[in-house]
Amino acid sequence: MTAHERLPGLPPIPDVLEGELAEALDVDVVYDVASPVWGGKVARLVDAPGRKLPGMLRRVDAADWDALARLEAAMAGASEVRPVKVRSFTGAVLTAQAFTPPAPTTPAQGAVSEAFLVTLALAAEQAGLFPEHVERLQAEARIVQALQKAGPGAAHPLPVPGRKG
């Protein structure tokens, strides 16, 4: 299912697909934002000193910024813009802007969205991100899928009688 099928009324996608491989520095993602659109929790950016997150660095014209902001908000609730330190493929370190959902005010219930993880892995692969990162995203999607198929007790198995801890 494409984003336009999942989200009718999605704004047009601005032509900002060109970019270069880069990594965001001192950030990571956590899956703690409930998204009814995705049927589970989706990712948001958090401070994580020393961590690196691969992605694409894209220049966005001012004329396309509003459309991109509406698209990000509609697709993943990414309505906040935050500065991130980025190392480009050429080694240059600069500050860029990244879209992210806001931190939840209450803990989100439920599982991580399998559809979101699959879409994230596909987007990473299509963008040409590092194979290790794509494989990690694909593995996360498979794990979530297996846990959801196994049912609610699978994530928290009962202790084995006679064993401590």
Report if residue 90 sits inside a domain. yes
- Quote the domain boundaries for residue 73: 3-9+19-151
The total of structural domains in the chain comes to 1
Kindly report the CATH number assigned to the domain that includes residue 95: 3.10.490.10
Q: What pTM, to 2 d.p., does this model score?
A: 0.75
Structure confidence at residue 4 (pLDDT): 46
Res. 51: pLDDT tops 80 = yes
Report if residue 161 sits inside a domain. no
pLDDT band at residue 145 under the 50/70/90 scheme: confident
Report if residue 165 sits inside a domain. no
pLDDT in tens, 116-144: 898 889 888 888 888 999 999 999 889 98
C-alpha pair distances (Å), 164 with each of 7, 32, 155, 157, 161: 48, 31, 19, 14, 8
